[in-house]
């Protein structure tokens, strides 16, 4: 075998291994590949987290607070813990797992309403407006980012 044959054979084997690891894309999502779904899900979760931190931090300044990225990041990290734990427990418990996940999401939203204004110094008079506008902005920016 020549060097070109060895290279071609190596590329074929590499292509076979990568296609088994990454799977294929279809119009209905990932075609049954757990590795690609795990990898892309992790990337999308990190992007969504970063978008939420940036939006809440930016809008804190608009509503009279003190934008501070490190405090917003820390507050968002604390806020997400109940939802993440409830998601894990909800996935492990049959029948009522969805309700457990929903309860964790509601607790996280309550924590977000309570903690974020304290972390960013948003005045009490603008707390509700900051919360609602920030949630809507996070949803809109998140949809735009995920479409790209």
- Find the helix packing angle between 34-62 and 3-22, rounded to 10°: 60
For residue 27, the model assigns a pLDDT of 52
Average per-residue pLDDT in the chain? 85
Secondary structure class of 95 (helix, strand, coil): coil
Which has the closest alpha carbon to 25: 12, 17, 14, 36? Answer: 36
Q: How confident is the model at residue 10 (pLDDT cuts 50, 70, 90)?
A: confident
Percent of the chain at pLDDT above 70? 83
For residue 81, the model assigns a pLDDT of 94
For residue 22, the model assigns a pLDDT of 63
**Tens-place pLDDT, residues 36-92:** 777 778 888 888 899 999 999 999 999 999 999 999 999 999 999 999 999 989 988
Asked if 59 contacts 137 with a C-beta cutoff of 8 angstroms, the reply is yes
Per-residue pLDDT for 142 more than 90?
no
Give the HSE-up count for residue 64: Cα atoms under 13 Å, Cβ half-sphere.
Answer: 9
Q: How confident is the model at residue 129 (pLDDT cuts 50, 70, 90)?
A: very high
Percent of the chain at pLDDT above 90? 54
DSSP class per residue in 27-80 = TTEE-S-HHHHHHHHHHHHHHHHHHHHHHHHHHHHHTT----HHHHHHHHHHHH
> Phi/psi of residue 25, each to 5°?
-100, 145
């Amino acid at each position: 075998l020549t060097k070109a044959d060895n290279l071609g054979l190596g590329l074929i084997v590499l292509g076979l291994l990568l296609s088994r690891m990454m799977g294929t894309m279809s119009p209905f999502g990932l075609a049954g590949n757990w590795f690609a779904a795990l990898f892309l899900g992790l990337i999308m979760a990190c992007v969504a987290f970063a978008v939420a931190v940036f939006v809440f931090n930016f809008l804190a300044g608009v509503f009279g607070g003190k934008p501070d990225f490190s405090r917003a990041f820390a507050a968002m990290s604390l806020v997400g813990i109940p939802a993440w734990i409830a998601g894990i427990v909800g996935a492990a418990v049959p029948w009522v797992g969805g309700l457990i996940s929903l309860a964790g999401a509601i607790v996280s939203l309550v924590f977000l309403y309570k903690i974020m204004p304290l972390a960013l110094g948003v005045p009490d008079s603008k707390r509700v407006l900051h919360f609602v506008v920030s949630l809507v902005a996070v949803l809109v920016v998140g949809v735009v980012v995920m479409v790209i």
